[in-house]
Chain A
């Protein structure tokens, strides 16, 4: 069965500082991985996805993530955080063998201080 762990419930960074949100997954085969962002009262917006190929993927809003098979990780990064990035971030794993349903992590709430 698939599972996802986001070890940090809350993270606070200063505006302009770099950001890394951690995500570890468990899945027997090659997973496909996603990061979604949710602003308060909003739906889930896809930031980026990894299906195969280049392990460093670029997403929207200046985010990137790196797939590391040896560490079962898919950490999200941004070199310089903006106040508008404050939101909750979810890592998710899917598998076409399971009909592409997603298993989500518990989420990380990002606070940005000015």
Chain B
């Protein structure tokens, strides 16, 4: 158990809908990263938050957004869903965000299926 909790584990929804994925980082970790794993794109970095502030964006679509709350949990919001958004979404957390080498601990992921 990595200590990173993601909910829900599975999500099935229809095209055009909106969903929210939730991540609780390890106790004491200030950074949260979101990654998308799909068959055609592999593991791709989406976005990074550190202590409530957005720090970096990767290949994240405009239909997607995220935030990190004062209690450090994070949510990834996916809207106007398309079939191609079906993927495994991972959250990872680490102690720091920049200026120091550190490792990230990954949650079990949320498998999103858009039908």
Interface residues on A, range: 20 to 34
Interface residues of B (CB under 8 A from A): 2, 31, 33, 35, 42-45, 48, 50, 55-56, 58, 90, 92, 94, 96-109
**Contact between chains at A99 and B108 (CB < 8 Å):** no
Q: Distance (Å) between the CB of B93 and the closest chain A CB?
A: 11
In angstroms, Cα B101 to Cα A34, docked, is 12
Residues of A within 8 A of B56 (CB): 98-99, 101
Q: What chain A residues lie within 8 Å of B107 (beta carbons)?
A: 43
CB distance A104 to B42 under 8 Å?
yes
0/1 string, A52-74, CB within 8 A of B gives 1: 10000000000000000000000
Which chain A positions have C-beta within 8 A of B109? 43
Contact with B along A86-111 (1 / 0, CB 8 A): 00001010101111111111110000
Once the chains are docked, how many angstroms separate the CA of A99 from the CA of B97? 5
| CB of A51 closer than 8 Å to a CB of B | yes
A98 and B44 CA atoms in complex are apart in Å by: 15
The interface residues of chain B lying within 8 Å CB-to-CB of A34 are 103
Q: How far is the CA of A100 from the CA of B101 in the complex (A)?
A: 7
| Neighbouring A residues of B103 by C-beta, 8 Å | 34, 46, 49
- For A51, the chain B residues whose CB sits under 8 A away are 101
A101 touches B106 (CB 8 A): no
Q: A43-B109, A101-B58 are in contact. Are A96 and B98 (CB under 8 A)?
A: yes
Residues on A with C-beta less than 8 A from B105 are 46
Contact B96 A36 (CB under 8 A): no
* Complex: chain B residue closest to A98, CB-CB: B56
B108 touches A42 (CB 8 A): yes
Asked whether, in the complex, the Cβ of B106 is within 8 Å of the Cβ of A100, the reply is no
